[in-house]
Amino acid sequence: MSDPLRPSPDDSSARPAVPARLDPYEGVLLLSFGGPRSPREVMPFLRRVTAGRDVPPQRLRAVAEEYHRFSGRSPLNDLNRRLLADLRTELGSRGIGTRLYLANRHAAPFPAQALSLARREGVRRLVVLLTSAYSSDSGCRRYREDLRDALSQVNRGSDPAGGLGADVVRPWFNHPAHVGLWAELLHGAFPADLDPDRVRVLFVTHSIPVAMNDCSGPRGGAYVAQHLDVARTVAELAGRCLGRSVGWDLVYCSRSGAPGTAWLEPDVCDSIRDLDPRTRAVVVVPIGFMADHLEVLGDLDHRARAVARDRGLDFRRVPTVGSRPAMVRGLADLLLERAAQARGESPDLPVLGRLGPAPATCPQGCCQEVVP
């Protein structure tokens, strides 16, 4: 019997992988959000994150307290280093030896630091993997703009023909490795002993301003549409394996910004409070987060769990995909896929869900800038 959580033989994601060649790239850059490494870095980090935004001081202090509750050190830094090491191992298993670098938008090493190191080591062209999988101003456009600005800084005064170049892989929210792994993790966490009508699955992602969602993607609304597509597909795959339908909602966490600015709702805690009284268990699936960083640990494991406990609910939080082997293999495939495109080839772009593959190069007007 075929595994419902694995692609069928006629699925595009089951086609042969692209050639194990990374040329024309001479290195890989993992570009992430970043986080403070010590208590003294917490407030400078938060000021960088919220620069130009009307974030109330009390909100900054509240977030700072969350970091201090975890010793003032973001777990994201170690998680990214582990992912980089696992990518090195995976590429090596395919016979690809290359230089790998790590950079963060809001914490050291910053993009210009990583790119300067790559250039000193003789790298002329990098392929860039964003740890953010979805399309939006904050989750895609600003990463690309920071990369562009850093390249301009590093290449200043150089012959354009001899400068450092970089290309970004496509938004990978619906890559089979990502979607399939979430389905497996949901299947493993689902309380199969309960009536499915008594279980609610909440797919959670980071809230953003409504205006930012409206400007995401080339036609607007891509941020919500992509998350809905992932949630729907994950629920269908897990439900097929469970032999039952999975009731679910898409909800949000980590709202910030000025009180008068409209952000995506409902909040995960409000959603748990408003669940049908007959509900006995809630399964939280953080599809908007790749790793167990502060939003997951604080907003879900702490606050959402406490709300569920007050309601007498069985609370289960699905682990994040992180650097699980299937995810690392999928990310390596994305790097090789981008390399094939750079060589002028037309590799298969496998996806799961109803949306097609997002382009690696953003079309005109995609994810317009929004200052919340």
- Tens of pLDDT, residue by residue over 130-186, are 999 999 999 999 999 999 999 999 999 776 667 899 999 999 999 999 999 999 999
What are the sequence ranges of the domains in the chain?
A: 12-172+323-342, 176-317
**Closest alpha carbon to 108 in 173, 35, 206:** 35
Average pLDDT of the chain is 90
DSSP calls for 207-246: --BHHHHHTSSSSS-HHHHHHHHHHHHHHHHHHHHHTS--
**pLDDT at position 229:** 98
Rounded to whole angstroms, the Cα distance separating 121 from 127 reads: 16
Residues in the chain: 372
Rounded to whole angstroms, the Cα distance separating 223 from 228 reads: 9
| The CATH number of domain 12-172+323-342, selected from 3.40.50.1400, 3.40.50.150, 3.20.20.80, 3.40.309.10 | 3.40.50.1400
pLDDT in tens, 180-209: 999 999 999 999 888 888 999 999 999 999
pTM, two decimals, is 0.92
Does residue 341 surpass a pLDDT of 90? yes
Running DSSP on this structure, what letter comes out for residue 361? S
Please say whether the beta carbons of 284 and 300 come within 8 A.
yes
pLDDT in tens, 241-293: 999 899 999 999 988 777 788 999 999 999 999 999 999 999 999 999 999 88
**pLDDT at position 363:** 79
pLDDT in tens, 84-94: 999 999 999 99
pLDDT in tens, 10-67: 344 444 467 789 999 999 999 999 999 999 999 988 888 887 677 777 878 888 888 8
Report how far Cα 165 is from the mean position of its chain's Cα atoms.
Answer: 24
pLDDT in tens, 319-329: 999 999 999 99
CATH topology for the 176-317 domain? Rossmann fold (3.40.50)
Place of tokens 């977030």: 63
User: Quick check: do 12-172+323-342 and 176-317 share a fold?
Assistant: yes
**Closest alpha carbon to 342 in 31, 150, 127, 163:** 127
Distances (CA, A) of 164 to 43, 150, 152, 211, 342: 33, 10, 9, 35, 15
